[in-house]
Every structure is written in C-alpha cells, then in structure tokens.
Amino acid sequence: MTTVIVLAKECVPGRVKTRLTPPFEPEEAAALAAASLADTLDAAGRVRADRHLLWFDGAAPRGTGFDVAQQPAGGLDERIAAAFDAVQDRAVLIGMDTPQLDPGVLQGVLDDDGPDAWFGRAEDGGFWALGLDPRPRRGDLVRGVPMSTEHTGAAQLLRLHAAGLAVRTLPQLTDVDHVADAVAVAAQAPGSRFAALLARLAPRIPAAA
C-alpha cells in the first residue's frame, strides 16, 4: 500500500505567501499560492498510489480527487508527524510550494523497495519531500525537528540517519518563498497555472528578481 500526502493550507490573503508582499498585494500572493497548490495537486494526482491524501489546514478545495483530512493544532513538525502517524503504509509527503514537481520523482519513491526513507532538500535549506516506509510511531522521526530555518533539511536528514535508516536522496527543488524563487520556479514550469499567473503579474516584479 502507498500514500501520497500533500501538506497545504487555505490560501487566505495575508496568511499565505506573506514574503511575496511586497511587491504583490496580499490577494495576489494568495492567488499565487492557490495556483501553486493546484499545480502541485495535479502533479501528485498523476502518481499511481493506493491513496492520495490532502492534509489540510482550513477549508479545502473541492474536486481534487484527494481524500481530505484536517491538520491538528501544533507546530509544523507536529503536523507533519501527525500525517505520517495517520497512515500505515509507505508514504511520501510534499508541500504546496513546488508547482514544478515532476510526478515521476514521487512515483520513483513509491516504486522503490531499496531504502527506508527518501529525502528531497529545498534550496532554502529546508526540505520539499519526505518519504518513509512503515514503522511504529514514525512521526517521531519528524517530531521535534526545528522547522522553517536554513538548517531544517540538515536536521531532518540527521534525524533519519541517527535512526539507522537507509536514505535515498531526491532532486533538490526550489520552494516558492520570495519573488526570486517565484521567477525561478515559473521558468522551470512554463506550462503551469503558477507561471501563467506570474506572467500576468510581471509588471509588479522588480528588475533585480
């Protein structure tokens, strides 16, 4: 059994992609977040898995084809840990900030019987993907890892190795946090909703980005 988990939250202006404001208005930043989420769900939905789970905070979008479960309260580490504890099979978890995602990368995780874990670093020092084989309380492999820092990825990888897991590395990707990230990601996914919306907002983008 295999599960793809997308960790996401409702795209409310002023609550998502706040580091894109300025140059964008909060409503524009939220629209970019929604486009990124839609692209990510499309990519994840093309992966052959027994279950597709949207681990959501807020009012989830409809018609995605994903099972939807609400995230519990707590820090990001607790919410990721709870997602892994909620499923019993091999699972790979991604966020909503990689519209350039290649579904084949996730498919490779679910079809790979070699390692115990799979890890995708993000350019900002975090991670964009984490895959884990079944094990008791595997959420404890994430719980307590400091999140949203430039050392998060290194700390999470160290936790996996300290547990004695054989870890396979996935391609490094850029999360959309800042305007320069958005420009880079749009160039990597030219046919995406995200790229199309960013192109319409291009007059707001500083030349330096």
pLDDT at 47 over 70: yes
- What is the predicted pLDDT for the residue at 208? 60
DSSP 103-149: HHHHHHHHH--S-SEEEEEETTSSEEEEEE---TTGGGGTTTPPPSS
* pLDDT (0 to 100) of residue 1: 87
Average pLDDT score, the chain:
95
pLDDT bracket for residue 48 (50, 70, 90): very high
| CA torsion through residues 126, 132, 135, 137, sign | positive
H helix intervals, the chain? 26-45, 76-86, 103-111, 152-162, 179-188, 193-200
Which DSSP symbol is given to 198?
A: H
Confidence of residue 70 (pLDDT cuts 50, 70, 90): very high
Q: Using an 8 Å Cβ cutoff, are 87 and 131 in contact?
A: no
Residue 209 is predicted with a pLDDT of: 63
Average pLDDT rounded to a whole number, residues 31-58: 97
Measured in degrees and rounded to the nearest 5, phi and psi for residue 38 equal -60, -45
Per residue in 81-121, pLDDT tens?
Answer: 999 999 999 999 999 999 999 999 999 999 999 999 999 99
- Overall fold of domain 2-204: Spore Coat Polysaccharide Biosynthesis Protein SpsA; Chain A (3.90.550)
- Provide mean pLDDT across the span 135-151: 94
**Domain coordinates of the chain in residue numbers?**
2-204
pTM listed for this prediction = 0.95
Is 47:110 a contact under the CB 8 Å cutoff?
A: yes
Q: Are 9 and 56 in contact (CB under 8 A)?
A: yes
Taking residues 21-47, what's their average pLDDT?
97
